[in-house]
Chains A and B, each alone.
Chain A
Amino acid sequence: MAGLLQHLINGLAEGTIYALVALGYTMVYGVLKLINFAHGDVMMVGAYVGYAAAFVLGDGALGSLWGAVLVFLVSILFCGLLGWLVERFAYRPLREKPRLTALITAIGISFTLSYGFQLKVQPEIAGKKVTLLPGADPRTFPEIITPAEWVTLHVPAPAPAPDEVDPAAPHDAADDFVEIIIWNWQVISFVIALALMGGLQVLVFRTKFGRAMRAVSHDHRVAALLGIPVDRVIALTFMLGSALAACAGILYAIKDTLIQPMLGVQLGLKAFVAAVIGGIGNVQGAVLGAVALALCEELVVGYASSSWRDAVAFGFLIVVLLLRPQGLLGRVQAEKV
């Protein structure tokens, strides 16, 4: 019981981070029918930019609200710009080309970012060593939220097996309960992720932009002829997705404390799987797929072995695709012949 509760908490925390990244995959796929393989790496960049921002702000800012807000904002702006650049200069020129061209470009950008960040570039500028690229070694993310226990739950412990009980020992009441700690940063992270997803939901389903985005997703040529600025809609979609990825990157760094350049490849792949499980192109599906995948992984790690984690993730993908090829919430697309 205690174990299960702990796993559910961990799974939800992980799932919301997957979801933020998965949303970027699904939105870009929605408007361009492109798997943006560089998306996970944008998340990694987001984590590093957050790291750099916290570093520049210095110890004085750590743990303060405005410091944390600044770290998020800087990272969001930087990644938004990065997303815009990638779309504008890598994908837009290829939009009318065969889809494979853009896909390979996406893989190229992913490699450029994940391997580029493994270089260590530290030129001296005005007598100070300035790190432009961080190098391959993992770095410890500063504590932008000072960890504190939010609540401590006392959950009844499973009764010990009779042969383990020493009848002579006095009964210790503390053994009857297991402590489950929910940390403040877990709660904050969860709330931020939920708020972002809620905001996105409103944008996509209520605003002019959202309706334009869905029109572009159905048929961008017709959308243009109805007065919808297709280029701008696509650029904004990339920027939004990248901003969410930036947040995901920082939340991940807060949770895991270590960041390294291959981070985006690993987490990005999981998020992509989550988007496919949910039905790629479907916004709610991405969230559902992400949470389902994370819970599934967490339970496997908890009750079987952590080495099964990835196998189960992909096994889950295969099972879903066999049973529902369009994903959990995806639409069936009639194949045009």
Chain B
Amino acid sequence: MSDAQLEVKQATMRFGGLKALSEFSLTVKRGDLLGLIGPNGAGKTTAFNVLTGVYAPTTGDVLVSGTRVNGRRPHEINRLGLARTFQNIRLFKELTALDNVKVAVLANTRPLFSRELMGRLRRGTGAQRAGAKVLGALDNYRDWWRAILGTGGFHQEEADVTARAGQLLEVMGLSARADELAKNLPYGDQRRLEIARALGTNPQVLLLDEPAAGMNTREKADLMVLIRALRDKFSLGILLIEHDMKLVMGICERITVLDHGETIAVGTPAEVRANPKVIEAYLGEAAHA
């Protein structure tokens, strides 16, 4: 098995007659910081939707941590280690910042059985998968009666989850906002909260869909520094969608450029910048605008 955390092979996504994504291929390894750019409607968000299981690719394969996930449901794909944020912010608006993160952390606490064991069973034969379901259920119901009885273990777990969520807020510079409702946060904080929430699911690969959209230049620059720090701190693979070419060029090691669903260039920032097709795609967009 390769050390690729996320591998996309020739993924194509059609909506009726429209080929929103065409033979898209990509590999993300631990510690990678990759960029995905392209003009409006190029298919960037569609690529994320295909990777995270929102859509099943029409053809092609997606592998997360070595497991083929085409047609698997989003929550299973997430549990294999893939998390994302959304271009149009989709926080739980009526929950506090802390609770937004706790939802993600809680959904993934598995104190009874190790992630490895559960993952192995889920990938296994029919009988093993059934076994995984029973073990998973046991875990859930254990939580129920422990909560009703208010056992020490339950309070401990709750405290652990709160602490973990608190740490993630701190990393994202949101500690002071923990108890505010998500909908009342300033825009930039909402974007960072989305990242904190995604990190709560304890991913190996993080997909960021225009995390700097709507921020001012200063905030954008800070965020890019932060993203790089996240990559190092959590040894994540990160795939970053960003509209602003300059920004991506600044931090990404390799960049994939999409236009009309086609991959028109892959390479280092310098290579991509010099690629005539890329220049044309972006100039074309500028001309239309």
- Which residues of A does B touch, CB under 8 Å? 199, 202-203, 206-209, 211-212, 214-215, 218-219, 221-231, 331
Contact = CB atoms under 8 A, between A and B. Distances in A.
A162 B43 CA distance: 90
Nearest to A236: B140
B74 A208 contact: no
A227 B147 contact: no
Given A208-B109, A228-B75, A222 B102 contact: no
A329 to B, nearest CB: 14
Contacts of B86: 222
Contacts of B211: none
Contact of A199 (B83, B95, B148): B148
Contacts of A208: 106-107, 109, 140, 143
A226 B140 contact: no
A226 B148 contact: no
Given A199-B148, A209-B140, A209-B143, A228 B90 contact: no
B92 A219 contact: yes
A206 to B, nearest CB: 5
A223 B103 CA distance: 8
Q: Size band of the B side of the interface? A: 35 or more
A323 B92 CA distance: 28
B108 A227 contact: yes
A227 B75 contact: yes
18 contacts: A199-B148, A207-B143, A211-B106, A212-B107, A214-B95, A218-B92, A218-B93, A218-B94, A222-B92, A223-B75, A223-B107, A225-B52, A226-B78, A226-B107, A227-B104, A228-B75, A229-B73, A231-B73
A205 B86 CA distance: 27
B197 interface: yes
Contacts of B108: 227
B254 interface: no
B68 to A, nearest CB: 19
A327 to B, nearest CB: 15
Contacts of B93: 218
Nearest to B140: A209
A230 B140 contact: no
B187 interface: no
Closest CB pairs A-B (n = 8): A227-B78, A224-B74, A218-B92, A227-B107, A207-B147, A215-B103, A226-B104, A206-B147
B84 interface: yes
Contacts of A228: 75, 103, 107
B234 interface: no
A202 B94 contact: no
A212 B148 contact: no
B200 interface: yes
B51 to A, nearest CB: 11
Given A219-B90, A226-B104, 12 more contacts: A203-B148, A208-B109, A209-B143, A211-B99, A215-B107, A218-B95, A221-B54, A224-B73, A227-B104, A227-B107, A227-B201, A228-B103
A134 B74 CA distance: 44
B260 interface: no
A222 B75 CA distance: 10
Could you tell me the dominant secondary structure of chain B's interface residues? helix
Interface in B125-153: 140, 143-144, 147-148
Contacts of A207: 143-144, 147
B140 A215 contact: no
B79 interface: yes
Given A199-B148, A208-B109, A225 B74 contact: yes
A223 B99 CA distance: 13
Contacts of A226: 75, 78, 83, 103-104, 107, 197-198, 200-201
A227 B79 contact: yes
Nearest to B78: A227
A282 to B, nearest CB: 12
A225 B54 contact: yes
A230 B74 CA distance: 9
Contacts of B99: 211
B107 to A, nearest CB: 5
A76 to B, nearest CB: 15
B147 A202 contact: yes
A202 B154 CA distance: 12
A212 B94 contact: no
A119 to B, nearest CB: 36
A231 B74 CA distance: 11
A202 B84 CA distance: 30
Contacts of B102: 211
Nearest to A209: B140
A331 B148 CA distance: 27
B75 A230 contact: yes
B142 to A, nearest CB: 10
A185 to B, nearest CB: 25
B139 to A, nearest CB: 9
Contact of B94 (A209, A223, A331): A331
B176 to A, nearest CB: 23
A226 B200 CA distance: 8
